[in-house]
Structure 1
Amino acid sequence: MPALHAVRLYQQQAVRSASPAALVDKLYEIGVAAAHAGDASRARRALVELTAALDLERGGEIAAQLQGLYEFSLRAVTAGDFTTVAELLGGLREAWRAGPLAAERAPALAAA
């Protein structure tokens, strides 16, 4: 039991210290893994969190389009279409890693 407690504390600290971009990446990762495992509950939770993270005012049309994709994915999870959800979230995850997450990491890499 103490080892499990230590793991939970480590995970909580990792979440608290992660950047918003890293947290979005983690949500994509969780959503993809849940879809591959056919875990509807976990996939839904990841999609709900991704939707909640959107800033529709500042994000404009891109945020609105992402919201539509997340809603589509929620319907697909409900229908049991996990393959579509895994593919869609996997593609978004790769785009996120090539865009915002890569831009966030670039200054750290340049300083190293």
Structure 2
Amino acid sequence: MTNDTTPLAPRIRLKIDHSWRFLRNDATGAEAPAFDDLEWRCVDLPHDYSMEDLPPGSAIQDHLRIDADGWRIHDGDNLAWSAEDLDESAWRQVEGRAMTGMPERSYAWVQPGP
């Protein structure tokens, strides 16, 4: 058994989820450190390449209006996971940001603040 007294280097925490370069294609030589990827699109992580086939942003609504005649919420829906005292009377006036590129199904309940 050896008795090594060499001090350990301090730990460094880095956030590395911003400003990655992405190209949905093969790029010969991209493994080389000197490879020029400036023409590639800049993405933040997490990023899922399967989102690349979505329609252009202009084809996706900026806001999703929640009303009784549209989308997925209907007057009288029984949301079993909601609190029994949840006041559902104001949900028609709620306007939220449309979420795009969400895998599978995503659910949210928005209630106006105090």
Q: Same fold (TM over 0.5)?
A: no
Q: Which has the larger radius of gyration?
A: 2
- Structure with the larger helix share: 1
| TM-score for both structures, normalised by structure 1 | 0.22
| TM-score for both structures, normalised by structure 2 | 0.22
Higher relative CO (CA 8 A, sep ≥ 6), structure 1 or 2?
Answer: 1
